[in-house]
Structure 1
Amino acid sequence: MGRGDLTNAEWHRLESFLPRGGARGGRWSDHRRVINGVLYRVRTGVQWRDLPERFGPWETVYKRHRRWSADGTWAMLLSRVQAAEDAEGRIDWDVSVDSTAVRAHQHAAGARKVPPAAVPQKGAGQGTNRVDPAAETGRPIGGGDQLGECLGRSRGGFTTKIHLAAEGRCRPLALVVTPGHYGDGPQLDRVLEQVSVPRTGVGRPRSRPDHVLADKAYTSRKNRRYLRRRGIRHTIPERLDQQRHRHNRGADGGRPTGFDSERYKERNAVERAINRLKGFRAVATRYEKRAYVYLGTVTVATLMIWLRT
């Protein structure tokens, strides 16, 4: 077993959830070896062609990762692991929301425009939270409206942005990718809509946090109305210009928003979750041309954080 490969305990947690059959009724080649190849690439950021021979043909590893990114298998594995953790009471439902910009390598540009009907959807329907590869033409990926392949220009350069919600133990619960110039505040509802942890028994998946913490970028009235409508308590500081505007309006300005400065300190959980994600080099720098494949890469990194934390 190489450094970074699945341990026996981690493999046993995933093995029963993996798809059994391959294309056209055939059988997949060794899942464990292929997943270890994907993990090696996500951890190191090497080109797919440079994968060590012990993982088998690089084409097999790449095609498996791309297919599972498209049909939602990676997202399904993540949700099953989260469900097991929630059943044992190991999820802290005080959720923090934030985003991080990721520099895109020059090789991430130049993807061909493919019409939705022409995108293969092999294995579609496996698991929950399925990601439609047709989203690269403008449909939602991970819950957010996309522009092209989620590549944009910002002060950081040629970037993609990852919006995420992290639980209190610094593990991402939900992910959304957008172009790098997209703002944080408009993505709050889309990120929280992706929070869905299945129950191990009967019942609907849990989708409502106990409390949400976010910085001033999320302090819009729209976001506060959304959180109140869902009955979610929140700690979000108010910007100074909003405070002055409310004061100038007098009685029409409404009451000041509540803010607990001590509880707000717990928002560092999402910063630490981002730090863990960017420990994976294929997450810290985007190399994929397709947005849904990059989202699959981030999902694999998130899965490993849940398995190893």
Structure 2
Amino acid sequence: MRPRNFTMVLGVVVLASLLAVSGLAACSAAEGRGSVPAAASARPRGAGDAVATDAGSAGLLPWSPPRLSNPTTIDVATLTPRPGAPRIIRLDPRRDYRIRMPDTALRRPLVILGGRNVVLIGGAISIPYQGPDASIEQRRGLLLIKQTGTVHVEGLLLTGADLSEGIQIASPEAVVQLQNIRVEQLHARDQVRFSDNHPDIVQPWGGVRRLRIGALTGQTNYQGLFLKEALGPIGAVQLWKVNIKGSASGRQLLWREGQFDISVNQVYLEPAKGRSLQQALWGRWTNVLAGPPPNGDFVPRGLAGPNYRSAGYAPGS
């Protein structure tokens, strides 16, 4: 996200511009901070933190995709946006969709606007250098906005030399499931004052009914999961097998601000050198562990991307 004084203005402008068909390309489908102290604990998870899953060493994921009713398949490779603009897929909020990503990395941001139940499995978004005057919107990976059912994003890789925002969400009516997600190279251009942006791996700035993150590995030079009710409410958050590494300038890797419920299960942080686990947290957190996962990244390099194959889902998920 941008520096704090721009956050609300940016959100309103982005939301309004998308809904009003601004200068962003439209691919139509189917006709800062202060210093609030954090409370952290490295104790093992408790029963209250249980995520509904029997997933384990077999690689099964805790949440299966939603059942789709007469879905329309959108092939992203066939859509032609305007030069330099994100790909915006506009969907009917009463219908279900499958989003098919290209066989090679998409080299511009993707915006999914609308839809009821939406499923995207596999694919990569790699943001190359966007020029000296690029906006943050041009340096974002994925934006989910105004879905009304369940959004299931799985096996997605976000990377690139100019990636400055990972996944942003503005879907207060939707359940959003992010599983087997890998985010690499997330950074601001100004890595001293962060005058251009405060990067976030995941940020539901526009609200979400329930956010489920199951298996996510991310690296950031500023922030990780930024869970703050800015322009919409956050109903509840479930975190399972999340590991985040802060690069040299990394700050808060987990940010919680609001009254929503949250469950934490196998969440590991590697703060920037010289920063403690406490300094990598904002707000009240429990069951967060310091260091890398014992067996390495939950989403190792090569798992997420165009060649992704799901291992399946836990019984009863």
TM over 0.5: no
Q: Which has the higher helix share?
A: 1
Bigger-Rg structure (1/2): 1
Q: Which has the higher strand share?
A: 2
When the two structures are superposed, what TM-score results if normalisation uses the length of structure 1? 0.31
When the two structures are superposed, what TM-score results if normalisation uses the length of structure 2? 0.30
Q: Which has the higher contact order (CA 8 A, sep 6+)?
A: 1
